[in-house]
Amino acid sequence: AGRSRRPRRATEGEGGGRAGEDAMGDAMDEDAPRVSDDERSEDEDRRPGGRRSLEKSKSRSRSRSREREPEKRRPPSDDKPRAASANTDTMTIGDEDAAFLLGAGGSTKRKVARAAGARLDLDDDKETRGRHVLTVSGSDAARARAMDYVRWVLRQRLGAIEVTHASKRDDLSVVRVPADCVAYVTGKSGRVLRSVEEEFGTLMFFGKLVGEEPDGGEESRNDETLCVLGDRRGRRGAELKVMSAVEHKTPGVFVNDQAKLRERLKQPGDGLGDGFGYDVFPFEEHEFSYALGAQGSTRKKLAAASGALLEYVGRAAVMAGTRAERSRCWDYLTWLLKQRKGSKVFVDDPEKRDDCTELRIPRGAAGRVQGKAGETLRSIERETKTFCFLVPDRDDPDGKEELVLIFGADKKRRYKALDLMEDAMSGRYRARDGDRGGRRDERRRDGS
C-alpha cells in the first residue's frame, strides 16, 4: 500500500544524494537513498494483526502489558558457564597483551567473543609468572575466527594490521574510507568506531589487505581500508553506518548527483538466495529532515518498528534485512512522508496485515491519544518501538469513531502500545521528553 509514488524496485546500483545529520548514532548525533537486491525471503512468523475497540477493552487487565512486554535479549556473553564438551584452543600471552585484549572492564574480550561467536576465557598461567592463557571455546569455525581476531587485536599495539586472503573469508566486509574521513569515522580515542561495534556486534579496524582483494577493485591510494568482521547482518549495519558518516562529511563519495549509489553493495553472503538484501528509497530534497527527526529519532523509530536496518546515506534511505523487514520499512516510510504533506493516509485492509493492531476510539478522544503537538503518541512509540497514526474508519460511515493503527514487527510491543493508549485515554499516562518514554499516573485525575 502507498507505493504508487515511486517504483517498487529500482535498478541495480541506485542510491541517494546528500549526507544525513545522524550518521554515527548517539556517539556523534549526526545521520543518511532506493536500489534493491534481488534476494527476497518469506516472513517466518506471520500472525493476524487484530482489532480492538476502546469499549470492549476496558475489562482487560492493566497488568497485561507487563506480561506481553518482550523479553530483553541479552547480547552473547562469554561469562556463561562453558560446556564441558566444547572444543577449545589455547594461546599464551604476556601481561601487556593480556591487558590490551581484556580492555576496560573486559570490553575488548567481550567484543571479540561476540563478533566471533565463541567464548573467551583469560586465566593466569600457573607455571609461568607474568604469562596468561587464553582459552577459546566453540565450534571449529568460531574458534578459528576468534583466534584470528585476537591476533589482529594484539597486532594493533605494534602497527598496521595485515589481512591475507580476504576474499576467501565469509566473515569480512570492507569499506573504502577516504583518508580525510578516517579521523571523523574513528572519533576521538576511537570512540565512534567502538560505538558502531557495540551497536552491531562487530569488530572493526583499519588495515591492509594482502594477497587477494575482496570485490570492489584495487585499493585507491587515497582510501583507507576499513575491515568489518562479524555476522552478515551486523556487518551490513556497520557498513551502512560508516557510509552515512562518510557521505555526511564528504558528499559524493558513495552517491552521485543523480541520487544513485556509485557501486552496488557487496559482501560475503550476498547472492545466497536466502532473502537477505537491501532496498534504496530516494528522498526528495524537502523530505529528508522530516524523515530523519531530531537526532535521528524518526529514523530509529522506523527501523525499530519494522525490524530492518535503516540508515540514511546522503539523500537516500538504505534499508536492509529480510524481504518482510524491508517491505514493512518501505511502507512505514511511505506513510510517514504522506503525513508530512498533511494528506490522509489510507491503509488497505490493515486487519489482514501481520504487523498491525487496531484500536477504535470515539472521534472526540483523538486529542487525548495524540497529546499536545502529538507528543503523547510519540512517547508511546518510543517506549514500545512501534509506529502509530490515526486514520478515518471506513467501517464507520457516520464518522463517530476513528481508528488508531499500531504497526510493528513485534506483537507484544504492539499490545503494550495499545495498553498505554488506553491509559492515555483515561488520563493515566503522561508523556516524557526524549527517549525516557512516559509513565502511568496512578493518581486520580482530581490530583488526590
The per-residue pLDDT for range 93-134, each reduced to its tens digit, is 999 999 999 999 999 999 999 999 999 999 998 888 889 999
DSSP 284: P
Name the pairing type of β-strands 119-124 and 131-137: antiparallel
User: Considering the chain, what percentage of its residues have pLDDT values greater than 90?
Assistant: 53
Residue 344: the pLDDT is: 79
C-alpha 318/C-alpha 332 separation (Å) is 14
pTM (two decimals): 0.77
Confidence of residue 432 (pLDDT cuts 50, 70, 90): confident
Query: What is the biggest distance separating any 2 CA atoms in the chain, rounded to whole angstroms?
Result: 85
Helix, strand, coil distribution of the chain in percent, nearest 5? 40, 20, 40
Contact 279, 271 (CB under 8 A): no
Q: Which amino acid is at 164?
A: T
The CA-based angle 85-89-94, given to 5 degrees, is 135
Confidence of residue 365 (pLDDT cuts 50, 70, 90): confident
Contact 244, 23 (CB under 8 A): yes
C-alpha 112/C-alpha 375 separation (Å) is 40
Give the helix/strand (H/E) hosting 367: helix 366-370
Give the helix/strand (H/E) hosting 208: strand 203-210
Q: Which amino acid is at 347?
A: V
Least confident segment among 114-128, 326-340, 394-408: 394-408
Least confident segment among 102-116, 299-313, 351-365: 351-365
Confidence of residue 4 (pLDDT cuts 50, 70, 90): very low
Contact 377, 370 (CB under 8 A): yes
Q: Evaluate if residue 444 carries a pLDDT over 50.
A: no
Residue 2: the pLDDT is: 37
